[in-house]
Amino acid sequence: MTTQSTSHLLVVDDDPALRMMLRGVLELNDFQVSEAESRDSALAMLTQQTDISVVILDLGLPPYAHEIVEGIATLQAIQAAILPVKVIVLTGQDQEAAALAAIREGAFDFLAKPASADAILRAVRRAELFLQKERELGELGITRIAINAQISDGLKGVRVDAEERLVRQILKETGFNVNQSAKRLGVKRENIYYFLKKFGIERDA
């Protein structure tokens, strides 16, 4: 007897027929599924449904359904908000350009349309496994951060970007609790307020 999954997934695609097909495949495998057809509706859903763990994202979203720009913007917004989700890109656009752009912006996996049901399910389960292991690391006080490093900016630029990302992530994980954030980062409370000012971080960010 298999254990029923309780994972909540979000399918983002402007094609209602494809959303219905994906929803059917996923629900048959015991996933809870929500749908969105655009960047705005996807981000609204992720804000409202905080238990979503995996996003299946089409890059060709309106108003630029035949380009990757809107899907990439959606991926960038998810990464900027440091949402605890894994994004699986599913697209029929130029595969090489789309794959490169998606990986650069933090996508967990990339699948080209048409992807089989088995391939989609394998990708979702890999994403779930990574999320589970990251949560276990978090319980050990280890936080994983991801940054894009432009080598031409030098080590200082990379260090500052990593520092900001880490501070934002810890603040988010502690619910913006300054005391807990300072403890986890091994700094004084005053340092947290310094970082807030330095990086322009606000509580609602």
Q: In this structure, which CATH number among 3.30.230.10, 1.10.1740.10, 3.30.565.10, 3.40.50.2300 belongs to the domain 8-139? A: 3.40.50.2300
- Mean of the pLDDT values across residues 170-177? 85
pLDDT of residue 51: 92
pLDDT band at 119 (very low <50, low <70, confident <90, very high): very high
Q: 204 by DSSP, 3-state: which?
A: coil
Residues 108 and 105: their CA atoms lie apart, in Å, by: 9
- Mean of the pLDDT values across residues 137-153? 68
Q: What is the dihedral of CA 108, 110, 115, 119, to 10 degrees?
A: -40
Q: What is the pLDDT of residues 56-87, one digit of tens each?
A: 999 989 998 888 899 999 999 998 888 889 99
Residue 95 has pLDDT above 80, yes or no: no
Please answer whether residues 65 and 14 qualify as being in contact, where contact means their C-beta atoms are separated by less than 8 angstroms.
yes
DSSP 72-137: HHHHHHHHHTT-S-EEEEEE-S-HHHHHHHHHHTT-SEEEESSPPHHHHHHHHHHHHHHHHHHHHH
pLDDT band at 160 (very low <50, low <70, confident <90, very high): confident
Q: What is the pLDDT of residues 177-189, one digit of tens each?
A: 888 888 888 888 8
Name the residue ranges covered by the structural domains of the chain: 8-139, 151-199
The helix (H) or strand (E) run that includes residue 201 is none
pLDDT of residue 2: 43
Write a three-state SS string for 178-190: HHHHHHHHCCCHH
Mean pLDDT of all residues in the chain? Answer: 85
Look at the block and give the residue holding tokens 């389960």.
125
